[in-house]
Amino acid sequence: MPQNTASVIPSRHVASYYAASAHASPEHPALQGATTADVCVVGGGFTGISSALHLAEKGFKVIVLEATRVGFGASGRNGGQIVNSYSRDMDVIEAKYGETSARALGSMAFEGNRIIRERVATYAIDCDLKDGNLFAACTDKQMNGLIEHKALWERYGNRELELLEGDDYRREIGSQRYVGALLDHSGGHLHPLNLVLGEAAAFASLGGVIHEQSPVTGITHGDTVRVSTSRGEVRAKHVIVAGNAYLKGLLPELEGKSMPCGTQVVATAPLDEALARELLPNDRCVEDCNYLLDYYRLSADRRLIYGGGVTYGGRDPASIEAVIRPNLETTFPQLAGVGIDYAWSGNFLLTLNRLPQFGRINHNVFYAQGYSGHGVTCTHLAGRLMAEALSGQFERFDAFAGLPHTAFPGGRLFRVPLTALGAWYYRMRDQLGW
Protein backbone atom coordinates (compact mmCIF):
# COMPACT_ATOMS: atom_id res chain seq x y z
CA MET A 1 0.00 0.00 0.00
CA PRO A 2 2.06 2.95 -1.20
CA GLN A 3 1.16 6.25 0.34
CA ASN A 4 2.11 9.85 0.93
CA THR A 5 5.24 9.82 3.08
CA ALA A 6 4.28 13.17 4.63
CA SER A 7 1.72 11.35 6.76
CA VAL A 8 2.42 8.96 9.61
CA ILE A 9 2.88 5.34 8.57
CA PRO A 10 0.75 3.05 10.77
CA SER A 11 2.69 0.19 12.32
CA ARG A 12 -0.23 -2.22 12.65
CA HIS A 13 -3.62 -3.07 11.20
CA VAL A 14 -6.69 -1.02 12.07
CA ALA A 15 -8.62 -2.15 15.14
CA SER A 16 -11.07 -4.49 13.39
CA TYR A 17 -12.51 -7.89 14.20
CA TYR A 18 -10.22 -9.34 11.56
CA ALA A 19 -7.08 -7.88 13.14
CA ALA A 20 -8.17 -9.11 16.56
CA SER A 21 -8.78 -12.66 15.29
CA ALA A 22 -5.95 -12.94 12.74
CA HIS A 23 -3.46 -15.77 12.93
CA ALA A 24 0.01 -14.88 14.11
CA SER A 25 2.19 -13.77 11.23
CA PRO A 26 5.79 -12.61 11.00
CA GLU A 27 6.68 -8.97 10.62
CA HIS A 28 8.71 -8.51 7.47
CA PRO A 29 11.69 -6.14 7.74
CA ALA A 30 11.69 -2.80 5.99
CA LEU A 31 13.77 -2.45 2.84
CA GLN A 32 17.33 -1.34 3.56
CA GLY A 33 19.73 -0.54 0.77
CA ALA A 34 19.66 -1.51 -2.91
CA THR A 35 18.57 -4.86 -4.30
CA THR A 36 17.38 -6.41 -7.55
CA ALA A 37 14.48 -8.59 -8.68
CA ASP A 38 12.75 -9.81 -11.79
CA VAL A 39 9.55 -8.17 -10.54
CA CYS A 40 8.90 -5.57 -7.86
CA VAL A 41 5.32 -5.51 -6.59
CA VAL A 42 4.12 -2.29 -4.92
CA GLY A 43 1.37 -3.13 -2.43
CA GLY A 44 0.81 -6.08 -0.11
CA GLY A 45 -2.93 -6.59 -0.51
CA PHE A 46 -4.79 -9.20 -2.53
CA THR A 47 -3.70 -7.87 -5.93
CA GLY A 48 -0.04 -7.60 -4.98
CA ILE A 49 0.23 -10.85 -3.03
CA SER A 50 -1.83 -12.80 -5.56
CA SER A 51 0.40 -11.52 -8.37
CA ALA A 52 3.56 -12.26 -6.38
CA LEU A 53 2.46 -15.81 -5.56
CA HIS A 54 1.52 -16.63 -9.15
CA LEU A 55 4.85 -15.26 -10.35
CA ALA A 56 6.86 -17.10 -7.70
CA GLU A 57 5.19 -20.33 -8.78
CA LYS A 58 6.48 -19.62 -12.29
CA GLY A 59 10.03 -19.13 -11.03
CA PHE A 60 10.28 -15.33 -11.01
CA LYS A 61 12.34 -13.58 -8.33
CA VAL A 62 9.79 -11.23 -6.75
CA ILE A 63 10.03 -8.54 -4.07
CA VAL A 64 6.90 -7.01 -2.52
CA LEU A 65 7.04 -3.53 -0.98
CA GLU A 66 4.23 -2.75 1.46
CA ALA A 67 3.91 0.63 3.17
CA THR A 68 2.38 -0.73 6.37
CA ARG A 69 1.49 -4.40 6.98
CA VAL A 70 0.38 -7.11 4.55
CA GLY A 71 -3.40 -6.78 4.17
CA PHE A 72 -3.55 -3.34 5.80
CA GLY A 73 -5.98 -1.87 3.23
CA ALA A 74 -9.23 -3.18 1.80
CA SER A 75 -7.89 -6.74 1.56
CA GLY A 76 -7.82 -7.06 5.33
CA ARG A 77 -10.95 -5.03 6.16
CA ASN A 78 -13.67 -6.01 3.67
CA GLY A 79 -16.90 -7.93 4.23
CA GLY A 80 -15.21 -11.24 3.46
CA GLN A 81 -17.68 -12.15 0.73
CA ILE A 82 -16.75 -14.18 -2.35
CA VAL A 83 -19.01 -12.57 -4.95
CA ASN A 84 -18.60 -13.58 -8.56
CA SER A 85 -18.27 -11.39 -11.67
CA TYR A 86 -17.76 -7.62 -11.71
CA SER A 87 -19.55 -4.56 -10.42
CA ARG A 88 -20.93 -4.17 -13.96
CA ASP A 89 -22.38 -7.33 -15.44
CA MET A 90 -21.92 -8.80 -18.89
CA ASP A 91 -25.12 -7.38 -20.40
CA VAL A 92 -23.89 -3.84 -19.66
CA ILE A 93 -20.40 -4.73 -20.91
CA GLU A 94 -21.84 -6.10 -24.14
CA ALA A 95 -24.07 -3.06 -24.67
CA LYS A 96 -21.25 -0.56 -24.05
CA TYR A 97 -18.16 -2.36 -25.33
CA GLY A 98 -19.38 -5.03 -27.72
CA GLU A 99 -19.85 -8.77 -27.85
CA THR A 100 -16.13 -9.55 -28.10
CA SER A 101 -15.33 -7.78 -24.82
CA ALA A 102 -18.34 -9.31 -23.08
CA ARG A 103 -17.38 -12.80 -24.21
CA ALA A 104 -13.75 -12.35 -23.11
CA LEU A 105 -14.61 -10.91 -19.68
CA GLY A 106 -17.50 -13.32 -19.25
CA SER A 107 -15.16 -16.28 -19.69
CA MET A 108 -13.22 -15.04 -16.62
CA ALA A 109 -16.13 -13.80 -14.49
CA PHE A 110 -16.25 -16.87 -12.23
CA GLU A 111 -12.54 -17.67 -12.15
CA GLY A 112 -11.57 -15.60 -9.10
CA ASN A 113 -13.53 -17.74 -6.66
CA ARG A 114 -11.92 -20.89 -8.08
CA ILE A 115 -8.45 -19.39 -7.63
CA ILE A 116 -9.23 -18.62 -3.98
CA ARG A 117 -10.33 -22.19 -3.37
CA GLU A 118 -7.23 -23.52 -5.13
CA ARG A 119 -5.02 -21.36 -2.92
CA VAL A 120 -6.76 -22.45 0.25
CA ALA A 121 -6.46 -26.14 -0.70
CA THR A 122 -2.91 -26.05 -2.09
CA TYR A 123 -1.37 -24.12 0.79
CA ALA A 124 -3.70 -25.30 3.60
CA ILE A 125 -4.77 -21.74 4.43
CA ASP A 126 -7.05 -21.54 7.48
CA CYS A 127 -9.44 -18.69 6.68
CA ASP A 128 -12.90 -20.02 7.70
CA LEU A 129 -13.96 -20.62 4.09
CA LYS A 130 -17.69 -21.32 3.68
CA ASP A 131 -19.77 -21.90 0.54
CA GLY A 132 -22.69 -19.89 -0.82
CA ASN A 133 -23.69 -16.26 -1.17
CA LEU A 134 -27.14 -14.75 -1.62
CA PHE A 135 -28.40 -11.72 -3.50
CA ALA A 136 -31.53 -10.59 -1.64
CA ALA A 137 -34.30 -8.63 -3.37
CA CYS A 138 -36.02 -5.89 -1.40
CA THR A 139 -38.68 -5.19 -4.08
CA ASP A 140 -40.49 -7.04 -6.84
CA LYS A 141 -38.50 -5.03 -9.38
CA GLN A 142 -35.26 -6.25 -7.85
CA MET A 143 -36.61 -9.83 -7.86
CA ASN A 144 -37.34 -9.58 -11.57
CA GLY A 145 -33.78 -8.36 -11.98
CA LEU A 146 -32.49 -11.46 -10.19
CA ILE A 147 -34.46 -13.70 -12.55
CA GLU A 148 -32.75 -11.96 -15.48
CA HIS A 149 -29.43 -12.10 -13.64
CA LYS A 150 -29.67 -15.88 -13.26
CA ALA A 151 -30.35 -16.34 -16.98
CA LEU A 152 -27.44 -14.04 -17.86
CA TRP A 153 -24.92 -15.79 -15.63
CA GLU A 154 -26.03 -19.19 -16.89
CA ARG A 155 -25.26 -18.00 -20.43
CA TYR A 156 -21.69 -17.40 -19.26
CA GLY A 157 -21.28 -20.75 -17.56
CA ASN A 158 -22.41 -20.40 -13.93
CA ARG A 159 -24.74 -23.37 -13.41
CA GLU A 160 -24.66 -23.23 -9.61
CA LEU A 161 -27.50 -20.75 -9.18
CA GLU A 162 -30.77 -21.32 -7.32
CA LEU A 163 -33.70 -18.92 -7.41
CA LEU A 164 -35.57 -18.60 -4.10
CA GLU A 165 -38.92 -16.99 -4.85
CA GLY A 166 -41.50 -15.85 -2.32
CA ASP A 167 -40.90 -17.10 1.19
CA ASP A 168 -38.45 -19.78 0.00
CA TYR A 169 -35.62 -17.40 0.85
CA ARG A 170 -36.55 -17.73 4.56
CA ARG A 171 -34.78 -21.09 4.66
CA GLU A 172 -31.58 -19.04 4.21
CA ILE A 173 -32.27 -15.65 5.84
CA GLY A 174 -34.24 -15.10 9.05
CA SER A 175 -35.55 -11.69 8.00
CA GLN A 176 -38.85 -10.42 6.64
CA ARG A 177 -37.15 -7.61 4.72
CA TYR A 178 -37.02 -9.37 1.34
CA VAL A 179 -39.29 -10.73 -1.37
CA GLY A 180 -36.90 -13.38 -2.66
CA ALA A 181 -33.25 -14.13 -3.35
CA LEU A 182 -30.75 -15.72 -5.71
CA LEU A 183 -28.34 -18.23 -4.18
CA ASP A 184 -24.95 -18.66 -5.86
CA HIS A 185 -23.56 -21.93 -4.55
CA SER A 186 -20.16 -21.13 -6.08
CA GLY A 187 -19.82 -17.96 -3.99
CA GLY A 188 -19.00 -17.94 -0.31
CA HIS A 189 -17.32 -16.10 2.52
CA LEU A 190 -14.12 -16.16 4.56
CA HIS A 191 -11.79 -14.30 6.91
CA PRO A 192 -10.08 -12.01 4.39
CA LEU A 193 -7.10 -10.98 6.48
CA ASN A 194 -6.24 -14.60 7.26
CA LEU A 195 -6.51 -15.37 3.54
CA VAL A 196 -4.04 -12.69 2.47
CA LEU A 197 -1.68 -13.53 5.34
CA GLY A 198 -1.83 -17.20 4.32
CA GLU A 199 -1.09 -16.32 0.71
CA ALA A 200 1.83 -14.14 1.83
CA ALA A 201 3.22 -17.07 3.82
CA ALA A 202 2.87 -19.28 0.75
CA PHE A 203 4.75 -16.70 -1.33
CA ALA A 204 7.53 -16.53 1.27
CA SER A 205 7.77 -20.34 1.33
CA LEU A 206 8.65 -20.22 -2.38
CA GLY A 207 11.50 -17.79 -1.77
CA GLY A 208 9.53 -14.58 -2.22
CA VAL A 209 10.60 -11.50 -0.28
CA ILE A 210 8.27 -9.04 1.46
CA HIS A 211 9.32 -5.72 2.95
CA GLU A 212 6.74 -4.04 5.21
CA GLN A 213 6.96 -0.47 6.52
CA SER A 214 8.44 0.40 3.12
CA PRO A 215 6.29 3.07 1.43
CA VAL A 216 7.35 3.74 -2.13
CA THR A 217 8.42 7.33 -2.76
CA GLY A 218 8.98 7.14 -6.50
CA ILE A 219 9.25 5.02 -9.63
CA THR A 220 11.94 5.82 -12.21
CA HIS A 221 11.01 4.36 -15.56
CA GLY A 222 13.41 2.67 -17.95
CA ASP A 223 14.37 -0.75 -19.25
CA THR A 224 15.31 -1.44 -15.65
CA VAL A 225 12.78 0.25 -13.36
CA ARG A 226 13.97 1.77 -10.08
CA VAL A 227 11.46 1.66 -7.22
CA SER A 228 12.56 3.90 -4.37
CA THR A 229 11.73 4.03 -0.68
CA SER A 230 13.18 6.37 1.94
CA ARG A 231 15.76 3.73 2.91
CA GLY A 232 16.36 1.67 -0.19
CA GLU A 233 15.74 0.86 -3.81
CA VAL A 234 14.64 -2.14 -5.86
CA ARG A 235 15.80 -2.42 -9.45
CA ALA A 236 13.54 -4.70 -11.48
CA LYS A 237 12.78 -5.72 -15.03
CA HIS A 238 9.06 -5.29 -14.34
CA VAL A 239 6.97 -3.50 -11.74
CA ILE A 240 3.40 -4.21 -10.67
CA VAL A 241 1.63 -1.30 -8.97
CA ALA A 242 -1.11 -2.68 -6.72
CA GLY A 243 -1.90 0.12 -4.29
CA ASN A 244 -5.56 0.47 -5.34
CA ALA A 245 -7.39 3.01 -3.12
CA TYR A 246 -4.19 3.73 -1.16
CA LEU A 247 -2.00 4.65 -4.15
CA LYS A 248 -1.88 8.37 -3.26
CA GLY A 249 -0.01 9.99 -6.10
CA LEU A 250 2.37 7.27 -7.25
CA LEU A 251 0.75 7.07 -10.70
CA PRO A 252 -0.86 10.52 -11.10
CA GLU A 253 -2.05 9.73 -14.63
CA LEU A 254 -4.60 7.34 -13.13
CA GLU A 255 -5.96 9.49 -10.31
CA GLY A 256 -8.74 11.30 -12.18
CA LYS A 257 -10.11 7.99 -13.49
CA SER A 258 -10.82 6.52 -10.06
CA MET A 259 -11.99 7.64 -6.63
CA PRO A 260 -11.45 6.17 -3.15
CA CYS A 261 -14.69 5.34 -1.35
CA GLY A 262 -15.14 4.31 2.25
CA THR A 263 -17.36 1.51 3.46
CA GLN A 264 -18.22 0.74 7.07
CA VAL A 265 -18.40 -2.58 8.88
CA VAL A 266 -19.36 -3.71 12.38
CA ALA A 267 -19.06 -7.02 14.20
CA THR A 268 -21.51 -7.80 16.96
CA ALA A 269 -20.79 -9.56 20.19
CA PRO A 270 -20.87 -13.36 19.75
CA LEU A 271 -24.43 -14.66 19.34
CA ASP A 272 -25.71 -17.84 20.92
CA GLU A 273 -25.95 -20.72 18.48
CA ALA A 274 -29.75 -20.78 18.26
CA LEU A 275 -29.95 -17.06 17.43
CA ALA A 276 -27.14 -17.28 14.89
CA ARG A 277 -28.91 -20.16 13.11
CA GLU A 278 -32.16 -18.20 13.17
CA LEU A 279 -30.48 -15.35 11.31
CA LEU A 280 -28.55 -17.40 8.75
CA PRO A 281 -29.60 -21.07 9.03
CA ASN A 282 -27.09 -22.39 6.47
CA ASP A 283 -24.27 -19.96 7.19
CA ARG A 284 -24.35 -18.20 3.82
CA CYS A 285 -23.36 -14.60 3.23
CA VAL A 286 -25.86 -12.04 1.92
CA GLU A 287 -25.88 -8.78 0.02
CA ASP A 288 -29.04 -6.94 -0.94
CA CYS A 289 -29.80 -5.51 -4.37
CA ASN A 290 -29.94 -1.82 -3.47
CA TYR A 291 -27.59 0.63 -5.16
CA LEU A 292 -26.06 1.45 -1.76
CA LEU A 293 -26.20 -2.12 -0.60
CA ASP A 294 -25.94 -3.82 2.79
CA TYR A 295 -23.98 -7.05 3.22
CA TYR A 296 -23.57 -9.44 6.11
CA ARG A 297 -22.50 -12.89 7.27
CA LEU A 298 -21.58 -14.85 10.37
CA SER A 299 -18.01 -15.15 11.58
CA ALA A 300 -16.53 -18.43 12.76
CA ASP A 301 -17.32 -17.45 16.37
CA ARG A 302 -20.93 -16.52 15.48
CA ARG A 303 -20.68 -12.75 15.34
CA LEU A 304 -22.80 -10.99 12.75
CA ILE A 305 -20.46 -9.02 10.50
CA TYR A 306 -22.62 -6.33 8.89
CA GLY A 307 -21.47 -3.69 6.44
CA GLY A 308 -22.81 -0.93 4.27
CA GLY A 309 -22.76 2.79 3.74
CA VAL A 310 -20.47 4.60 1.33
CA THR A 311 -18.48 7.79 1.90
CA TYR A 312 -17.23 9.18 -1.40
CA GLY A 313 -13.67 10.37 -1.25
CA GLY A 314 -12.81 7.90 1.51
CA ARG A 315 -13.68 9.97 4.58
CA ASP A 316 -14.70 8.18 7.79
CA PRO A 317 -18.08 9.02 9.36
CA ALA A 318 -18.19 10.42 12.87
CA SER A 319 -19.77 7.18 14.15
CA ILE A 320 -19.61 3.94 12.19
CA GLU A 321 -22.08 2.26 14.53
CA ALA A 322 -24.59 5.09 13.97
CA VAL A 323 -24.36 4.47 10.21
CA ILE A 324 -24.75 0.70 10.35
CA ARG A 325 -26.98 -0.10 13.34
CA PRO A 326 -30.30 1.23 11.89
CA ASN A 327 -30.06 -1.02 8.82
CA LEU A 328 -28.81 -3.97 10.86
CA GLU A 329 -31.82 -3.72 13.17
CA THR A 330 -34.20 -3.19 10.24
CA THR A 331 -32.92 -6.41 8.67
CA PHE A 332 -32.90 -8.31 11.98
CA PRO A 333 -35.25 -6.71 14.55
CA GLN A 334 -34.37 -9.57 16.91
CA LEU A 335 -30.93 -7.94 17.27
CA ALA A 336 -32.26 -4.63 18.62
CA GLY A 337 -29.72 -3.31 21.10
CA VAL A 338 -27.17 -6.02 20.33
CA GLY A 339 -23.66 -5.23 21.48
CA ILE A 340 -21.19 -4.02 18.86
CA ASP A 341 -17.67 -5.17 19.70
CA TYR A 342 -15.86 -3.84 16.64
CA ALA A 343 -16.52 -1.05 14.14
CA TRP A 344 -14.15 -0.09 11.35
CA SER A 345 -13.97 1.36 7.87
CA GLY A 346 -11.81 0.87 4.82
CA ASN A 347 -11.46 2.27 1.34
CA PHE A 348 -12.17 0.60 -1.96
CA LEU A 349 -11.48 2.19 -5.35
CA LEU A 350 -14.38 3.14 -7.60
CA THR A 351 -14.14 3.66 -11.36
CA LEU A 352 -16.66 5.59 -13.40
CA ASN A 353 -17.74 2.54 -15.42
CA ARG A 354 -17.51 0.21 -12.36
CA LEU A 355 -15.04 -2.05 -14.19
CA PRO A 356 -11.48 -2.72 -13.03
CA GLN A 357 -8.58 -0.83 -14.56
CA PHE A 358 -5.77 -2.99 -15.92
CA GLY A 359 -2.93 -1.60 -17.98
CA ARG A 360 0.74 -0.84 -18.35
CA ILE A 361 2.86 2.29 -18.54
CA ASN A 362 5.71 2.15 -21.01
CA HIS A 363 6.32 -1.56 -21.54
CA ASN A 364 7.18 -2.83 -18.08
CA VAL A 365 5.15 -1.05 -15.36
CA PHE A 366 1.83 -2.85 -14.91
CA TYR A 367 -1.14 -1.94 -12.75
CA ALA A 368 -4.50 -3.38 -11.68
CA GLN A 369 -6.99 -1.50 -9.53
CA GLY A 370 -10.52 -0.13 -9.24
CA TYR A 371 -12.55 -3.28 -8.55
CA SER A 372 -15.47 -1.11 -7.40
CA GLY A 373 -16.62 -3.41 -4.61
CA HIS A 374 -15.82 -6.80 -6.18
CA GLY A 375 -12.22 -6.97 -5.06
CA VAL A 376 -12.04 -10.27 -3.22
CA THR A 377 -12.52 -12.36 -6.35
CA CYS A 378 -11.27 -9.99 -9.05
CA THR A 379 -7.95 -9.33 -7.31
CA HIS A 380 -7.20 -13.04 -7.45
CA LEU A 381 -8.02 -13.11 -11.13
CA ALA A 382 -5.76 -10.05 -11.57
CA GLY A 383 -2.84 -11.90 -10.00
CA ARG A 384 -3.15 -14.76 -12.45
CA LEU A 385 -3.45 -12.39 -15.42
CA MET A 386 -0.39 -10.43 -14.28
CA ALA A 387 1.65 -13.63 -14.18
CA GLU A 388 0.40 -14.58 -17.63
CA ALA A 389 1.28 -11.16 -19.06
CA LEU A 390 4.77 -11.08 -17.57
CA SER A 391 5.28 -14.56 -19.07
CA GLY A 392 4.41 -13.16 -22.50
CA GLN A 393 0.75 -14.20 -22.67
CA PHE A 394 -1.14 -10.91 -22.96
CA GLU A 395 -4.50 -11.92 -24.43
CA ARG A 396 -6.53 -12.18 -21.23
CA PHE A 397 -4.81 -9.23 -19.54
CA ASP A 398 -5.43 -7.09 -22.62
CA ALA A 399 -9.14 -7.95 -22.59
CA PHE A 400 -9.31 -5.71 -19.50
CA ALA A 401 -6.55 -3.30 -20.51
CA GLY A 402 -8.41 -2.50 -23.72
CA LEU A 403 -11.50 -1.18 -21.93
CA PRO A 404 -11.75 2.62 -22.10
CA HIS A 405 -11.75 4.48 -18.79
CA THR A 406 -12.75 8.11 -18.51
CA ALA A 407 -12.28 10.61 -15.72
CA PHE A 408 -14.99 11.37 -13.18
CA PRO A 409 -16.91 14.54 -14.08
CA GLY A 410 -16.03 17.59 -12.04
CA GLY A 411 -12.32 16.91 -11.68
CA ARG A 412 -10.71 16.35 -8.30
CA LEU A 413 -12.61 19.25 -6.71
CA PHE A 414 -16.18 18.31 -7.69
CA ARG A 415 -16.08 14.56 -8.38
CA VAL A 416 -17.03 13.69 -4.78
CA PRO A 417 -20.16 15.88 -4.49
CA LEU A 418 -21.31 15.00 -8.02
CA THR A 419 -20.93 11.27 -7.39
CA ALA A 420 -22.68 11.60 -4.03
CA LEU A 421 -25.55 13.41 -5.74
CA GLY A 422 -25.89 10.57 -8.24
CA ALA A 423 -25.84 8.02 -5.41
CA TRP A 424 -28.56 9.97 -3.59
CA TYR A 425 -30.77 9.66 -6.69
CA TYR A 426 -30.31 5.89 -6.85
CA ARG A 427 -30.90 5.57 -3.12
CA MET A 428 -34.19 7.44 -3.46
CA ARG A 429 -35.11 5.19 -6.38
CA ASP A 430 -34.46 2.10 -4.26
CA GLN A 431 -36.51 3.44 -1.35
CA LEU A 432 -39.42 4.40 -3.61
CA GLY A 433 -39.27 1.15 -5.56
CA TRP A 434 -38.81 2.84 -8.94
Q: Would you call 136 helix, strand, or coil by DSSP?
A: strand
Say how far apart CA 11 and CA 301 lie, in whole Å: 27
Say how far apart CA 3 and CA 357 lie, in whole Å: 19
pLDDT of residue 246: 78
Angle, alpha carbons 207-210-212 (nearest 5°): 165
Q: Any alpha helices (H) in 3-45, and if so which ranges?
A: 17-21
pLDDT of residue 9: 65
Q: Any alpha helices (H) in 253-319, and if so which ranges?
A: 273-279
Q: Would you call 289 helix, strand, or coil by DSSP?
A: coil
Angle, alpha carbons 257-359-149 (nearest 5°): 75
pLDDT of residue 260: 79
pLDDT of residue 433: 57
pLDDT in tens, 246-280: 777 787 777 767 777 888 999 999 999 999 999 99
pLDDT of residue 251: 79
pLDDT of residue 409: 56
pLDDT of residue 89: 85
In the chain, which stretches have pLDDT less than 50?
Answer: 1-7, 413-429
pLDDT in tens, 162-194: 999 999 999 999 999 999 999 999 999 999 999
Say how far apart CA 295 and CA 189 lie, in whole Å: 11
pLDDT of residue 113: 97
CA dihedral 399, 47, 195, 190 (to 10 degrees): -50
**Which residue spans within 269-303 are E strands per DSSP?**
285-288, 295-298
Terminus-to-terminus CA distance in the chain, angstroms?
A: 40
pLDDT of residue 393: 98
Say how far apart CA 53 and CA 64 lie, in whole Å: 10
pTM of the model: 0.92
